[in-house]
Amino acid sequence: MSEVVYIETTRLRKSRYNPRMVHDPERHKILLESIRRNGVMEPLLVYQVDDGYEVLDGSRRLEAAVEAGLDTVPCIIVRREEAPRISLAIHFSQDDLTESELVLYVERLVAEEVFKSVEEVCRFLGVSKSWFYTLRRAARLGPLDSGASATTLAMVEKTRVEPEKKKRIVEALDNYPLPRPMLREALREIEEKPMEEPERVLERFYWASPRRSGEDAFTASGVYEYVLRRLGGVVEFLARKGVETVWRVEVPAQDLMVVKLMWQRL
């Protein structure tokens, strides 16, 4: 395991190999509050430059830590020559880049001869060449700040619906973000029910997705008791920690596919 060291925040700055260009204010607020309460739980990935360090992974954590008044943060130091490939692998696995960010970053790494070709990048990531070219086409579906990840847009691009409906799906996902398994099922339903508005389908799947009370996502940690029971025409899901119910959601009993997906996520 790599050694964790604490480095002064004044010696850290964002790496030029960080491909993220879109800033999410809401995520920043959540992260800032978490760091104020718990500190930086996950070490930053950094490499040395001159008398300081550039942050390869964790620039948002660094920004929040500085705002929270922390003097030092936990870091893992990697070799500078490994930085571009590590950055690409991290952001690809996290699926946290927009399609434009990922396409531009891949093309930049090829231009800087970190990789010899797009094909080499695809082999490094373990994906096919068609994956990258699908992303290029997907870049036409939404603006840079759409908030949808590259994988999400690629999934929408492959959907067998007209281009205008694809754009509506991307716009709706800003309001109704879905995890990939549920998005895949929602897109299938949109294909199979062309007369139904795609926004209605995504909204239904969104509200069927478990969320913690007062939050957009179920992010709590600990030991939970999960309860699944049928109440008349609906199926109720509960997650309890002790006597506290941390989330609750009802799904129409006829939506058996949604019920199955939710149970698989627990």
Question: Between 74 and 30, whose confidence is greater?
Answer: 74
Whether 132 and 178 share a structural domain: no
Residue 195: give the domain boundaries.
165-207
Distance of alpha carbon 5 from alpha carbon 74, whole angstroms: 6
More confident residue, 32 or 263: 32
pLDDT for the residue numbered 145: 47
Q: For residue 87, is it within any domain?
A: no
Structural tokens at position 236 = 């109720």
Residues 45 and 107 in one domain: no
Here the CATH number for the domain that contains residue 8 is: 3.90.1530.10
C-alpha pair distances (Å), 206 with each of 185, 196, 197, 209, 265: 12, 16, 15, 5, 14
Q: How far is CA 221 from the centre of its chain?
A: 19
Residue 241 falls within a domain, yes or no? Answer: yes
> In total, how many domains does the chain have?
4
Contact 87, 59 (CB under 8 A): no
Residue 261: closest CA among 199, 197, 188: 188
Residue 90 lies in a domain: no
pLDDT at 69 exceeding the cut of 90? yes
Same domain, 203 and 218: no
pLDDT in tens, 71-124: 999 999 998 888 888 888 887 776 667 767 788 888 888 888 889 988 998 888
Domain finish residue from 46, 81, 116:
81
Instruction: Give backbone dihedrals phi and psi of 114, rounded to 5 degrees, phi first.
Output: -70, -40
The tokens describing 180, both together, are 């990939």
Helices (H) and strands (E) in the chain, counts: 11, 8
- As a residue count, the chain comes to 266
Query: Per the domain annotation, does 259 fall within a domain?
Result: yes
Q: What percent of the chain is modeled with pLDDT above 90? A: 21
Q: Is the pLDDT of residue 215 over 60?
A: no
Mean pLDDT of the chain: 78
Is the separation of the CB atoms in 89 and 97 below 8 Å? no
In this prediction, residue 77 carries a pLDDT of 92
Would 88 be classed as within a structural domain? no
- Judge whether 89 lies within some domain: no
7 and 76 inside one domain: yes
Give domain status of residue 86, yes or no: no
Shared domain for 135 and 196, answered yes or no, is: no
Would you place residue 10 in the very low, low, confident or very high pLDDT band (cuts 50, 70, 90)? very high
pLDDT of 65 reads 95
pLDDT over threshold 70, residue 27: yes
pLDDT digits (tens, 9 = 90+) for 186-197: 999 999 999 999
Angle at 102 between CA 12 and CA 124, to 5 degrees: 90
pTM above 0.75, yes or no: no
The whole-number pLDDT of residue 104 equals: 80
C-beta of residue 47 within 8 angstroms of C-beta of residue 17 = no
| pLDDT-above-70 percentage for the chain | 70
Cα separation of 250 and 6, whole Å? Answer: 45
